[in-house]
A and B are shown apart, each in its own frame.
Chain A
Amino acid sequence: MQLTEARREPTRARLAPRSAPLGPLVHAAQAGCAASFEVLYRQLAGQVLSYLRWHRASDPDGLTNDVFAQVHRNLGAFRGDEAGFRSWLFTIAHHRMIDDRRRAGRQPQLQHDPAVDERVGWGDVEEDALAAMAPERVRDLVAVLSPDQRDVVLLRIVADLSVEDVARMLHKREGAIKALQHRALATLRRHMDTLDRAPAR
């Protein structure tokens, strides 16, 4: 039945902003088309920036530029499809984030200010999420995750990578990734309960 099928369609697949297919852009950029690389940048740099911000990188804007500079330098050697390109891009971003974390020699600083005020075109679930969540609360919740749990959750959600991709990127088994994301959600739920029970300041 059509309605049933529509209900089965994943929320994010239905709501994700329309954008140009990555494959032709990657091929054109590989052939030296600077304009195509700029489109790739405009389409994906915000997600990379968001990934770095949720990890509280020290200079997310600068690191995002570094990521794309590395992508451009190595673009000729890339082989793969659209999903492969996303995975490759976020592998570079992930390694940059780890380098940054090591350089800083500390847990990242609180600085994320998600751009969630631009509320256009979302469905009920998304509007509810925006209304219910305060940025500070989300930031604090993400911060309670262990580094491994945070890596997995952010790569699954922000980078939109599959369990298989994340497993390959983090050099872990798929079962380990599933266990990490399960534990991450349990941790988040537990801390949400704790916050809800805490007296208002």
Chain B
Amino acid sequence: MAQLDLTLLDAECILSGDALPGRVDLGALVELTTYVWISSQIEPAPPMSAGLLGQIAGPATS
């Protein structure tokens, strides 16, 4: 099985969604991590439940 030629720094770049110059072979990975990131950024907050709404109407506790 072919090993992926990837340094730890390359991995950081890919996880950050930054394309690596000259590494066309890693483009699909960058697209994948970018997709996951975008999906989290545009996911709308779900409606607050009645329980949570009732809870926050009172004071925060420690």
Contact = CB atoms under 8 A, between A and B. Distances in A.
Is B one of A's binding partners? yes
Contacts of A77: 62
A157 B37 contact: yes
Main secondary structure of the interface of B (DSSP, over half): helix
B41 A16 contact: yes
Main secondary structure of the interface of A (DSSP, over half): helix
B45 A50 contact: no
Contacts of A138: 32, 35-36, 39
Instruction: Indicate the size class of the contact surface on chain A.
Output: 35 or more
A32 interface: yes
Interface in B22-62: 26, 28-49, 51-52, 55-57, 59-62
Contacts of A129: 17, 30-32, 34-35, 38
A32 B41 CA distance: 27
B24 to A, nearest CB: 13
A17 B41 contact: yes
A46 interface: yes
A155 to B, nearest CB: 10
A11 B56 contact: no
Interface of B: 1, 3-4, 6, 8, 11, 14-19, 26, 28-49, 51-52, 55-57, 59-62
